[in-house]
Structure 1
Amino acid sequence: MNVDELVAIDMHTHAEVSSRGHASLSEELDSAAGEYFKAEHRRPTLPEIAAYYRERRMACVVFTVDAEAATGTPAVPNEEVAEAARENPDVIIPFASLDPHKGKTAVRQIHRLVQEFGVRGFKFHPNVQAFHPNDRMAYPLYEAIEEAGAIAVFHTGQTGIGAGAPGGGGIRLKYSNPMLVDDVAADFPGMPIILAHPSFPWQDEALAVATHKPQVYIDLSGWSPKYFPPQLVQYANSLLKDKVLFGSDYPLISPDRWLADFAKLPVKDEVRPKILKENAARLLGLDKQQ
C-alpha cells in the first residue's frame, strides 16, 4: 500500500454480504438501516468494495459485525474479509468482529486472526451485540486484543440499525454511551480505541474521553459532515486534530457524499490532511512502511 498515492483512508466500511450471499443482519434490521440512510447501493461484495475504493485512490478499513448471540444471524466470516485484503493489499485493511457473548471461543480467535490473517483491529457494536462495553464479560477479549497489538473500534451514539422498525427492531441505545468505553480505556491503556461516529446524544462525553485518554480516537463515520455538532468541528480543529479520523460507513454512506460535505466545513487547511489520511496512517503504522 503506497500511502503517498492515497487521497484518503476510510476507517469505517462494512462487509455486509458473504461470498455465498448471506447478510450479517436480519432482513428487518437491514431494510430499516437502508431506509434510514437512504442508501442507494447496498450489499456490495468484497471485490466490489476493493474496486470502488481503488477507483477513488483510497484505502479502506473493512469489517463485519458479529452479533450472532443477540440476532441469531451469523456474520460475514472474518476470514473472508482478511482474504479480500490479501488479494487487494493496495486498498483493503482488514479488521474483524467477534461477539463478546461467545466468550473463550471468541478470545481464541483473536490471536489467530491477527497472526495468521493479518487482522489489524476488532469492531464492537454494543447496540446490536447487546452488551455494555465495560461489562467484565468482554474483558478477556480486550486483554487478547491489547496483547496482540490490535485496535478496538466501538460503535457509539444512536444507531441507524433498526431505526424506524417497530421498537427499533429491539435494538437498545443505552449500550452505546461513550462513557462506558472510558472504563475500557482506563483498564487497557495499551489498546488503541476508536469511538466510531459522532456520538449523538453523547457528543460531549466522547470529546471528553478522547481528550482525556491518549489512546482514544474518534472516527467521523455514519453522519454527513453537514450534520456534525459544532463542538465536534471545534475539537477536530484544535485539541483533537491528531486524533480524528475520516470514516464514511460505506455502503450506508458513500465516501463521495461524505467528502463533498466535508469540503464545506470550516476545517483548517493544515488539519484536513490529518483527518483524511495522516492520523489513520500513523495509527495503523502505515507511515512507517514508506
Structure 2
Amino acid sequence: MNIDDLIAIDFHTHAEEPCCGPRDDGYDEFQAGMARYFRNPAGAEGMLPSVQQTAEYFRERKIGAVIFPVDAERETGFRRYSNEEVAQIAAENDDILIPFASIDPHKGKAGAREARRLVKEFGIKGFKFHPTMQGFFPNDREAAYTVYEAIAEEGGIMLFHTGQTGVGSGMKGGMGMRLKYSNPVHIDDVAVDFPDTPIVLAHPSFPWTEEGLMVAQHKPNVYIDMSGWSPKYFPEIFVKYANSILKKKMLFGSDWPAITPDRWLKDFETIGIKDEVKPLILKENARRILKI
C-alpha cells in the first residue's frame, strides 16, 4: 500500500458477503432491519457488496479501508464470514484493503489459537468485537481475556463496537440484542489491563458519548473511530473534542456499506472541523496506529 496515494483511510468497513452458500434463516430479515435503521436500500434489497466490490469502490475513491467480518454465531445463529477468506481477498487488493478479523471471545483457547494463526499466517492487523452482538461485557476476564491476551502478544489492534446499534433495531425483542454490553466505560478496564495494545472505540458511543470521550482522553492507547453516524448528527461535545484535545485520537470511519464514505465525507465538511485537524482524522492518525 502506497499510503501517500490515498486521500483517507476508512477505519470501519464491513465484509458482508455471506460464506458457505445460501444465507441462514432469518439473515435477510436481519439485514432488512439494518437497512431500515440506516436508510440503506441496498441492504433491504439483498444487494450487499462483496469484499472485491468493496475494494473496487474504495480504489476508485483513493480511500484505504480497514475491513472485517463479525463473528456472532453463538448469539445470532448466523454463520460468520470466514476470516481467512476476507484476509485472502484483502491480500489480493492490498493496495486498498487492510484486513481485520473477528472472533467471538467466548471461544477462549480455540479463539486465541485462531487469533495467533491469523496474525502470523494471514497478516491480520486487528480484531473487531461487538459486545452487544456477541453478548459479553468487554471487561469480563473469564469471557474475553484469553483471546485479548493472544491479540496483545501478537501486536494486534482491538476494535470495539460501542453505543446503540442498528443490529436488531425495531425487531421483536431487539433480536435478543442487549445494549448494556456496549457502554464504552467497560473498555476502560481493558485499556488498563492491556496498556500497550491500541484500542479503538467504534462510533460516537450514543448515549454514552461522554463516557467514550472520557476513556479516550484518559488512556493513551484508546482511540475513537467516528463511524456509524453521519457527521451532521454528531453531538456538539463530540465535535469539540475532535477539534481539540482528541484531535490525534479520532479516526475517519464510515460503517460501509450501511453508510458510504461519500455520504460521510460530504457531511464531515459541514461540521466545522479545523483545516489543520482534518488530515489527522482522515488519514494520519490511522496511519500511525496501523504503522503504515
The TM-score by the shorter chain falls in which range? over 0.9
Determine if the alignment matches structure 1 residue 107 to structure 2 residue 112. yes
Which whole-Å CA distance do the structure 1 matches of 2:150 and 2:22 have between them?
29
Aligned residue number for residue 198 of structure 1: 204
* TM-score relative to the length of structure 2: 0.95
- Asked whether the 8 Å contact 1:19–1:45 carries over to 2, the reply is no
Q: Percent identity?
A: 59
Q: In structure 2, give the amino acid aligned to 1:45.
A: S
- Conserved 8 A contact 1:28-1:169: no
1:152 partner SS = strand
Aligned equivalents of 1:20 and 1:50: distance in 2? Answer: 21
**Within 2, Cα distance between the matches of 1:259 and 1:160?**
21
- Tell me which of 45, 62, 76 is aligned to 2:50: 45
Q: Are the aligned partners of 2:158 and 2:197 in contact in 1 as well (CA < 8 Å)?
A: yes
In structure 2, give the amino acid aligned to 1:84: I
Mapped partners of 1:23, 1:283: distance in 2: 35
Shift of 1:163: 0.5
3-state SS of 2:274 partner? coil
- Corresponding residue for 1:134? 139
TM-superposed deviation, 1:19: 5.2
Q: Which amino acid in the other structure matches residue 86 of structure 2?
A: V
The residue that corresponds to 2:226 in the other structure is: 220
Q: Which amino acid aligns with 1:109?
A: E
Match in the other structure for 2:27: 26
**Shift in CA distance, 21/11, structure 1 to aligned 2, threshold 3 Å:** farther
5+ residue gaps, structure 2, are none
Q: Superposed, which structure 2 residues align to 1:162-181 within 5 Å?
A: 162-181=168-187
| Runs of 5+ consecutive residues of structure 1 not aligned to the other structure | none
Quote the offset at 1:85 in angstroms: 1.2
Once the two structures are TM-superposed, the CA of residue 27 in structure 1 deviates from its matched residue by 2.8
Q: Is the 8 A contact 1:248 1:258 kept in 2?
A: yes
Cα shift at 1:20: 4.8
**By how many angstroms is 1:105 displaced?**
1.2
Detail structure 1 runs of 4+ shifted over 3 Å in the superposition: 18-25
Return the alpha-carbon distance in structure 2 between the equivalents of residues 44 and 20 of structure 1: 16
What are the Cα deviations for residues 169-217 of structure 1, in whole angstroms up to 9, with x where unaligned?
1111000000000011011101110000011000000000000000000
TM-score, normalization by structure 1: 0.96
Deviation of 1:245 (Å): 0.1
Give the conservation status (yes or no) of the 8 Å contact 2:163–2:206: yes
For residues 8-62 of structure 1, what are the alpha-carbon distances to aligned partners after superposition, in whole Å with 9 as ceiling and x for unaligned? Answer: 1000000011355555883332221111101133320111001000010111000
